[in-house]
Amino acid sequence: MAQKFVYFFGNGEAEGRADMKNLLGGKGANLAEMSSIGLPVPPGFTITTEVCTEFYKNNQAYPEALAAEVAANLKKIEALMGRTFGDAQNPLLVSVRSGARASMPGMMDTVLNLGLNDTTVQGIIAQSGDERFAYDAYRRFVQMYADVVMGMEKEILDHLLEQKKEQKGVHLDTGLTAADWKDLVAQFKKAIFDELGQAFPEDPQEQLWGAIGAVFGSWMNQRAITYRKLNNIPAEWGTAVNVQSMVFGNMGDDCATGVAFTRDPSTGENYFYGEFLVNAQGEDVVAGIRTPQPINRSKPTTLPTMEELMPECYNQFVEIRETLEKHYKDMQDLEFTIEKGKLFMLQTRNGKRTAPAAIKIAVDMVKEGLIDEKTAVLRVAPSQLDQLLHPSLDPKAPKNVIAKGLPASPGAVSGSVVFTADEAEAEAKIGKKVILVRIETSPEDIHGMHAAQGILTARGGMTSHAAVVARGMGKCCVAGCGDIKVDYASESFTAKNGVVVKKGDVITLDGSKGEVMLGAVPTVPVQLTGDFGLLMELVDKFRTMKVRTNADTPHDAKVAREFGAEGIGLCRTEHMFFDAERIAAVREMILSEELEGRERALAKIMPMQKGDFIGLFREMKGLPVTIRLLDPPLHEFLPQEERDILELSQTMKVTVNAIKHKIDSLHEFNPMLGHRGCRLGITFPEIYNMQVRAIMEAACELVKNEGFSIVPEIMIPLIATTKELQVLKQNAVAICEEVIAAYGVKVEYLIGTMIELPRAALTADDIATEAEFFSFGTNDLTQTTFGLSRDDAGKFLPFYVENGILPEDPFVSLDQTGVGKLVKMACELGRGTRPKIKLGICGEHGGDPESVIFCHKIGLDYVSCSPFRVPIARLAAAHAALGDK
């Protein structure tokens, strides 16, 4: 069968289906689906994404058969609508819109009211009986087409419109008459010709193909490319083009247009949530020029609602809401228009939602019997939980609220004010926290929104660009804050009470309340709702891989346990050495020339270490705890300040110079590859011996005195050869046995190693003859596999990622092809030698959803991550178990 390029929908039928998103794009597939389940959708057709791909492959040429298919489908629309494209008496007007596989809100182009010219406008006057409406539609079309298709600078036509309003002494577009619009159409066309040397196309067919070309072309515009990069959308997907008969929400007071969500996208509450504008076109709602009215009184409002103004349409809309939720079994984001009292559905798609809403909706839908538990778990993206785990404002802290806007996206952030996206990006690059303040945002601001901590806009509703994009990014956002007047020229905004905030001043946003505060207000950690707990219960039903935490203190361990950690996968003991009370003794130990001096210093540290471990074991209540012996190069502990050096010389009774000399001698050119990890244990066995003794005494004491059951896991870092491990294990075993015998108790323990060096991974079969467990230290393993310094990569890695040389920062998301291959191989080799060997990961990747899924696939027993990422890892592990790609 010949390849089909165009799919028709309308009149209760459709050639496409919801599951044809790859071919028809999200919008096209859902229009087809809505049409075939009998919802009122204006008829139209979708040109497939394959045409887009071909278009770019073939030097921007269309497949030969496309023209005939478009013509035939246009005829079908004409027949259903009883109107003819380009007809002088009864013309058909169409919209031309993009629609990719993944939603890319506002990133690509749209043309409305297409088919208008000096002849057909007469037909529209005859159809609508409204000359002003007809010319208003005409001028909107010319403006949009000139901008989108012809590449005319927007400001030129906007300026002519402003000039007209000034001449007429009116402030709003509504003050202009039919004659004014008619005159403006002529002025616009002249300006286009003067500027571009090209006449505005009068022929509707030429207009149509111009718009189709522009929409395909917009797939490759800069903002679409940026958006794809940020959201990992491949360029090969392409966009579809939807051509659909126009319906008008601006033909009078029995017309309206709006957007709605079948549940509240911010909180997830189960009520019909939406906004609309009477006598307006779709772009008026999203552009945030007029403040939209709610569709009902589910939440208090002073504005008249759709339910009150248009009860019949509202009731029909409520039924459609139910039909759609039952059909799609998910919260939907809807666009609708009412033309002369008749409701039309223009779009439905799975609605973007905040993390709390995602959880509430998933949990509620299970209770309502709409979805099963597996689906609920898969509905919440692990990365989304990050948003939920964001802090909120400390309720006890004083706050100076200077303005209130809409609570568009939750979270609480402080930062200094900037007014442009470029500034936001530049400031963020040098590590500053900024709040981007705009009158309203547009897709051009996307990079700045990404860089900013939070976003504040003066105009626009809960469905404005700023609100929708911020929510998607999980960024705190206060939108539609009419309390502030933004003045770009003076780089300041003025609040209602007269407070002036200038560029660089610090403000705080509360995206859950919509409040804007002067200065930085302190925040408190997250409080999780009951729904979160319910979801996590479901998550744990499906997850097979354990989740541990990286924690060095009883406090961190406690937080992690509250988040569901099932053990400690990494306790970095060196963090305990930095404590103010201990650092002097640690330095004494490092700087002692003789064993005796070192042992004296270690004897001071030992009881403190033992106390640390008792604290950790207590907190973990019998769950596994892996303690890593000292890892970093010793010079990291040395004093830099003269004052500290002097103090140390007094305690140690040696000269300042002697200490300085020792510090110099410890200098390394490449400390990451130097005297660190197990190499310290080999050369200064007394250090590891002290640590092992502290661990075992802590365990034995708790077992003996408090009846604990503990199996300490002693972990040796940076092993490259089996011999290193063999020597260190022998020492450790001797001490463990000695301590156990002294306490007269039975305590089991494990001695294992980190796999952090390629040589260790390559010889894992041999290493497993000694190691009772492996924990993949993928931070170092990434560093050493790539030959990429963890400390210096920041200078060039971002460039690599931005330019696609690396798909992602390999220190954030595991490089599965390279480093991952080593990990997988080491697992297989290790299991070959010791089938029951315990395998885990404790590099930062243990909290990255993609990496967690990889770890599940290669059969690790657990991942270990920072406490706040434990829920993310649990959810990712469940997704992995449920086969989520």
Which residues are known to be catalytic?
A: 465, 842
Choose from Mg ion, ligand PEP, none: what does 442 bind? Cβ within 5-8 Å by kind. Answer: none
Piece of 75-83, 452-460, 732-740, 771-779 that binds Mg ion (CB under 5 A): 771-779
> For ligand PEP, which is the closer residue by CB, 97 or 838?
838
DSSP string covering 66-118 = HHHHHHHHHHHHHHHHT-EET-SSSEE-EEEEEEESS--TTTS-EEEEET--T
| Interaction of residue 264 with Mg ion, rule CB under 5 A | no
Of 490-498, 502-510, 694-702, 777-785, which segment contacts ligand PEP by CB under 6 A?
777-785
558 binds, among Mg ion, ligand PEP, none (CB under 5 to 8 A by kind): none
CA atoms within 13 A on the CB side of 826: 35
Nearer to ligand PEP, 144 or 842 (CB): 842
What single letter denotes the amino acid at residue 254? D
Please choose, out of 118-126, 316-324, 720-728, 752-760, the segment that lies near Mg ion by the rule CB under 5 A. 752-760
Q: Does 411 bind ligand PEP (CB under 6 A)?
A: no
Q: Is 777 in the site for ligand PEP (CB under 6 A)?
A: yes
- Exposure pattern of 502-512 as b/e (b: 16+ CB <10 Å)? ebeebbbbbbb
43 is a site residue for ligand PEP (CB under 6 A): no
> Binding-site residue total for ligand PEP (CB under 6 A)?
10
Our CB check for ligand PEP shows the closer of 570 and 878 to be 570
Which segment (19-27, 435-443, 775-783, 869-877) binds Mg ion by CB under 5 A?
775-783
| Site for Mg ion contains 780 (CB under 5 A) | yes
Nearer to ligand PEP, 697 or 780 (CB): 780
One-letter amino acid at 646 equals L
CB of 863 to ligand PEP, least distance (A): 12
Nearer of residues 263 and 548 to Mg ion, judged by Cβ: 548
Spatial distance between the Cα atoms of 609 and 589, rounded to a whole number of angstroms: 14
Q: Which residue among 779, 786, 825, 884 contacts ligand PEP (CB under 6 A)? A: 779
Helix (H/G/I), strand (E/B), else coil: 310 = coil
Smallest gap from Cβ 263 to ligand PEP, in A, equals 41
DSSP letter assigned to residue 474: T
Select 307 or 780, whichever has its Cβ closest to ligand PEP: 780
Of 137 and 771, which has the nearer Cβ to Mg ion?
771
The two three-digit tokens of residue 324, written as one number = 């759609």
Q: Is 302 left (phi over 0), alpha (psi -120 to 50) or beta?
A: alpha
CB of 822 to ligand PEP, least distance (A): 13
Binding partner of 357, given Mg ion, ligand PEP, none, CB within 5-8 angstroms per partner class: none
Q: Does 335 bind Mg ion (CB under 5 A)?
A: no
- 334 or 718: whose CB is closer to ligand PEP? 718
The stretch near ligand PEP (CB under 6 A) out of 93-101, 263-271, 739-747, 778-786 is 778-786
Partner from Mg ion, ligand PEP, none binding residue 364, C-beta < 5-8 Å depending on class: none
Q: Is 531 in the site for ligand PEP (CB under 6 A)?
A: no
Using the rule CB under 5 A, which residue among 448, 777, 846, 867 binds Mg ion?
777
Give the whole-angstrom CA distance, residue 68 versus residue 53.
19
- C-alpha to C-alpha distance for 692 and 606, rounded to whole angstroms: 10
Sign of CA dihedral 664, 666, 672, 673: positive
Name which of 752 and 777 has its Cβ closer to Mg ion.
Answer: 777
For ligand PEP, what does the binding mask look like between residues 290 and 309, x meaning CB under 6 A? --------------------
3-state secondary structure of 550: strand
Helix spans in 578-721 (H): 583-591, 595-620, 642-652, 656-665, 678-683, 685-706
Print burial letters for 814-851: b (CB count within 10 Å at least 16), e (below 16).
bbbeebbebbbebbebbbeebeebbbbbbbbbbbbbbb
Q: Which residues lie closer than 8 Å to 610 by C-beta, 6 or more apart?
A: 694, 697, 698, 701
CB of 479 to Mg ion, least distance (A): 43
Contact stretch for ligand PEP (CB under 6 A) within 493-501, 577-585, 647-655, 773-781: 773-781
The partner in contact with residue 77, picked from ligand PEP, Mg ion, none with C-beta cut-offs of 5 to 8 angstroms by kind, is none
Burial-class residue 156 by CB neighbours within 10 Å (0-12, 13-18, 19+). Answer: middle
CA angle 729-734-739, nearest 5°? Answer: 125
Distances (CA, A) of 768 to 628, 678, 760: 17, 16, 10
- Contact region for Mg ion (CB under 5 A) — 155-163, 493-501, 525-533, 751-759? 751-759
570 binding partner (options Mg ion, ligand PEP, none; Cβ < 5 to 8 Å by kind): ligand PEP
Q: Which positions ≥6 away from 504 have C-beta within 8 Å?
A: 416, 417
By three-state DSSP, how is residue 481 classified? coil
Residues 425/431/434/436 CA torsion (nearest 10 deg): 10
Is there binding between residue 624 and Mg ion (CB under 5 A)? Answer: no
Q: Which of 861, 854, 808 is nearest to 835 (CA)?
A: 861
Which residue do the tokens 């989108």 mark? 148
Among candidate residues 555, 556, 608, 571, the one with its CA nearest the CA of residue 586: 608
Of the candidate residues 756, 770, 815, 848, the single one contacting ligand PEP (CB under 6 A): 756
Which residue in 238, 443, 843, 871 binds ligand PEP (CB under 6 A)?
843
Residues contributing to the site for Mg ion (CB under 5 A): 756, 777, 780
Residues contributing to the site for ligand PEP (CB under 6 A): 570, 572, 631, 756, 777-780, 842-843
